[in-house]
Structure 1
């Protein structure tokens, strides 16, 4: 299998953590896509993912799968028990509900801020920017942090008792906040403590190697 990505960016980090959690590192070839120079806007890359985004998983039979959630679902079922996406119907439903919230209220909101209210990937890539929309999404992301802090006041992980892809998404989202020099408020003690626990997982270090 191949994964097309740009190491260090938030969404690629999500998939790299999932790969490490599932013990699949030796089965994956990572292919660098030079985003700042527009390698994701070429006809060759659009053939793999019409959205022109990374990461993209390419299977040995040539099938391509984009979107972090879809890629993680596939990886979670390659071998062993499905530990990241839920073990039964109820768990899967809660994981997918919380995954959508973590994406919309944190990851996507910060991404929109990055692309609209900062230089983003540069003038040649960011062909349209709306600073007001970007700033609005920063406020949404901060509200999202407060929501996740509230969730963690009653359970150890964002989808319940077990670590899941929701935690991966939120952890990568806070990494994006760091990159953007956006601090997690000190008052969000549950979120801060959860982040420290997740950071100690072996998969985090492995994903950054």
Structure 2
């Protein structure tokens, strides 16, 4: 298997975390995509992912998968140890619901803020910016932080009362928020405590 990634970007980090958690990093070849040099906007890259985003996984079967959630689904089926996407019907539903909320309310909202309301990756890459949309998504992210703090005040993990891909997504969404300069209020103590727990899990499997 081969993963096309850009080091330091949040979505490739999600896939690396899933691979590390499952203990299969050594079974994957990693190929760096130089986004700053527009390597993701070449005809060659568009052939494997017409959206021009990272990560992309070339599977054991020789097919290409993009989207972190889809890649994690594949990895969970390919390496069933230490399940991340749910085992029972209820777990799968809960994890996928909260995974999507973590994306929409934090990861994607922070991304829209970063790419539209700040200099982002610079003028060569940040075309068609909309400051108003970025500011709207800044509010969405702030509400997302508070929402997940409320969830984590009652549960140890984001979904199904165990570590899952929803935790990975929220964790790297918060890391992205730090990078983008979005404040995560110190009053959100449940979110902060959960973040330390997940950090320890990821470090122990890194």
- TM-score, with structure 1 as normaliser: 0.95
State the shift of 1:76 in Å.
1.2
**Deviations 1:50-106 (CA, angstroms, capped at 9, x unpaired):** 110000000133200000000011111222346100011110011000011000000
Give the corresponding residue for 1:122: 122
Give the corresponding residue for 2:44: 44
Give the corresponding residue for 1:11: 11
Give the corresponding residue for 1:26: 26
Give the corresponding residue for 1:143: 143
Alignment of 1:160-171 (within 5 A): 160-171=160-171
Runs of 4+ deviating beyond 4 Å: none
**Could you tell me whether the CA contact under 8 Å between 1:17 and 1:204 is conserved in 2?**
no
- Residue 78 of structure 2 corresponds to residue 78 of structure 1: yes
Task: Tell me how far apart the structure 2 counterparts of residues 43 and 120 of structure 1 sit (CA, whole Å).
Answer: 24
**Could you tell me whether the CA contact under 8 Å between 2:107 and 2:173 is conserved in 1?**
yes
SS of 2:31 mapped into structure 1: strand
Unaligned runs of 5+ in 1: none
State the shift of 1:205 in Å.
6.3
**Deviations 1:126-172 (CA, angstroms, capped at 9, x unpaired):** 11101111011011001000000011111100003100000000000
